[in-house]
């Protein structure tokens, strides 16, 4: 990853942190004012809430513009790529950012309330694969029903799913065959399991034999986010293509609103 690429991801990460912090602050302040400080006049509470809403809306708008600007810069730089490999890397970055932008737009329109994991996968997959020009069949199953997640977990899973999709796209280009992606989400008492599979060549044997420390920056990101951020477990297997199973405990939907 070049310094330019790193700068792009740092810029995006900073924007998301700002939006997330503002969203949490808004909800915490609203909860605090409604329960802990009843002596504050209702007019003052309403005015404060309006200010917070306007500020969050403005930051969301700026983040959306930043995404558009970064994608435009990548497109311009790709036009002057010195090698097909460099152009391919820039295209991958463009596709990843487009997927992240789509999810951010979905979260902001939903006012950062809990969203369905199945819906998050659907938006990400259709947005990113649609930019490649490669036909893709997508199947998403949720058992028993789609499970809603707080936006902090949605953020981590967005990065994980984006990396999995990028891996599928990368290997589908080399095979020159239509893509097929299937996602199965299972919700049980002990947590959530997301199974992401494709019809590509599958993970190499050395990666399957080294589950604890997968090779490649993309798999390192997936592993780190799964274990450290979600407190879960990543398992890579082969079943007529690459299969990644991510199991993690579901965070209570009220945790972010009640956190101090």
Q: Whole-model pTM?
A: 0.69
Residue 45 burial class via C-beta count within 10 angstroms: exposed 0-12, middle 13-18, buried 19 and up: middle
Nearest in space to 7 (alpha carbons), one of 58, 74, 87: 74
pLDDT of residue 6: 44
pLDDT of residue 4: 47
pLDDT of residue 213: 54
Per-residue pLDDT 10s for the chain (260 aa) are: 444 444 445 445 545 544 554 454 445 555 554 455 556 777 777 777 777 777 767 776 677 777 777 777 877 887 888 888 887 777 777 777 777 777 777 777 766 677 888 988 988 888 888 877 788 899 999 887 778 888 778 888 888 998 898 888 887 777 777 899 999 999 887 789 999 999 988 888 877 776 545 555 678 888 888 999 899 999 999 888 999 999 999 877 664 544 43
pLDDT of residue 257: 45
Residue 88 burial class via C-beta count within 10 angstroms: exposed 0-12, middle 13-18, buried 19 and up: middle
Residue 95 burial class via C-beta count within 10 angstroms: exposed 0-12, middle 13-18, buried 19 and up: buried
pLDDT of residue 139: 94
Nearest in space to 53 (alpha carbons), one of 112, 132, 10, 114: 112
Strand order across the beta sheet in which 233-238 lies: 136-143, 179-188, 191-198, 242-248, 233-238
pLDDT of residue 88: 74
């Amino acid at each position: 990853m070049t310094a330019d690429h790193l700068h792009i991801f740092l810029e995006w990460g900073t924007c998301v942190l700002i939006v997330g912090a503002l969203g949490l602050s808004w909800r915490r302040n609203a909860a605090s004012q409604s329960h802990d400080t009843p002596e504050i006049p209702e007019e003052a509470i309403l005015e404060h809430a309006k200010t917070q809403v306007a500020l969050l809306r403005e930051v969301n708008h700026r983040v959306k513009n930043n995404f558009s600007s970064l994608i435009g810069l990548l497109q311009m730089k790709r036009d002057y790529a010195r090698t097909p490999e460099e152009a391919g890397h820039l295209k991958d970055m463009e596709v990843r950012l487009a997927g992240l932008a789509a999810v951010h737009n979905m979260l902001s329109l939903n006012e950062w309330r809990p969203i369905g994991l199945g819906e998050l996968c659907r938006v990400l997959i259709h947005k990113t694969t649609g930019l490649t020009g490669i036909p893709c069949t997508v199947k998403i199953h949720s058992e028993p029903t789609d499970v809603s997640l707080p936006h902090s977990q949605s953020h981590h899973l967005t990065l994980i799913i984006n990396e999995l999709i990028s891996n599928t796209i990368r290997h589908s280009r080399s095979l020159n065959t239509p893509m097929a992606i299937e996602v199965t989400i299972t919700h049980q008492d002990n947590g959530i399991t997301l199974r992401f599979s494709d019809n590509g060549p599958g993970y190499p044997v050395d990666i399957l034999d080294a589950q604890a420390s997968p090779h490649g920056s993309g798999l390192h990101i997936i592993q780190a986010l799964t274990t450290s951020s979600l407190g879960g477990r990543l398992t890579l297997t082969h079943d007529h293509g690459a299969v990644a199973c991510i199991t993690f405990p579901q965070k209570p939907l009220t945790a972010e609103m009640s956190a101090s």
